[in-house]
Amino acid sequence: MLTEQEIINNALKEMLSLEDLTAQKYADIAQQITKPELHNLLKGMEMAARNNYQSLLQKMNMNQIN
């Protein structure tokens, strides 16, 4: 049985993975869009996901979660 800390660690790792996947999906879609307004919107959403990724990574590093 997992401890509460292990469950939290696993959840954070899953969140990190999902943010990375989300950013990549936005980047891939943005490459296919020719309309500048939509392209810029998707690039902004990609950047937000990458910022979320970095924030999670920092918190995980602070708490020594690998």
Of 61, 48, 40, which Cα lies nearest the Cα of 22?
A: 48
Residue 48 lies in a domain: yes
Residues 3, 15: Cα–Cα separation, whole Å:
18
Residue numbers of the domain that contains 48: 36-66
What is the number of domains present in the chain?
Answer: 1
pLDDT band, very low/low/confident/very high, at 28 (cuts 50, 70, 90): very high
Q: What was the pLDDT predicted at 48?
A: 98
Residue 11 lies in a domain: no
Residue 56 near residue 15 (C-beta atoms within 8 A): yes
Residue 62 lies in a domain: yes
pLDDT, one tens digit per residue, over 49-58 is: 999 999 999 9
Q: Is the pLDDT of residue 42 over 90?
A: yes
Residue 65 lies in a domain: yes
Residue 23 lies in a domain: no
